[in-house]
Amino acid sequence: MTLLRRQDGMALIVSLLLLLILTVLAISMASTSTLQQRISGNAQQQNIAFQASESGLRYWVDWFTKHDSKPPEGTVIPIEPTSGSSGSARARLTSTSIECAKMIPAQSLSVSGYTYYCYQVSSQAKACKDLDNCDVAISDGQARALHRRSFIQATHN
């Protein structure tokens, strides 16, 4: 009977310690899960901005091909979410004429019968929660992307 008296309350202490350890583990897992969710959300927003910027460059080339001139400076393109995608974005286009000699070898420029026009195209995009309140130029913590591409047009005279 003396053996039982020494163990009085020990089961309670052990079970409370185990409960404390399980609680700490549960809280740790919950915070890790929340952090992982935030990381994946940020990655998704960055991908949306990246794709919107690429879409802006594609829009510029399509416009140039259809109209044989560059789109108006500072054109802003709203990009709505497609099925299976979450989030929208805006892309702003700028382009400048550049000297073709910087991009095309001199021997190519000397070929008679062709005229070259060279452009540096920039597409700056921003992932937005709300397209109505989305300004690409303002940095407010939303994911943004900037892509540049050179475009050369050769016309036969």
Q: pLDDT tens, 69-92? A: 888 888 888 877 654 556 788 888
Question: In this predicted structure, what is the pLDDT of residue 29?
Answer: 92
What is the domain partition of the chain in residue ranges? 2-156
pLDDT band of 18, cuts 50, 70, 90: very high
CA distance 60 to 13: 71
> What b/e readout covers 39-54, taking b as 16+ CB neighbours within 10 angstroms?
eeeeeebeebbbbbbb
Percent of the chain at pLDDT exceeding 90: 25
DSSP code of residue 71 = P
CA distance 154 to 104: 11
Question: In this predicted structure, what is the pLDDT of residue 121?
Answer: 92
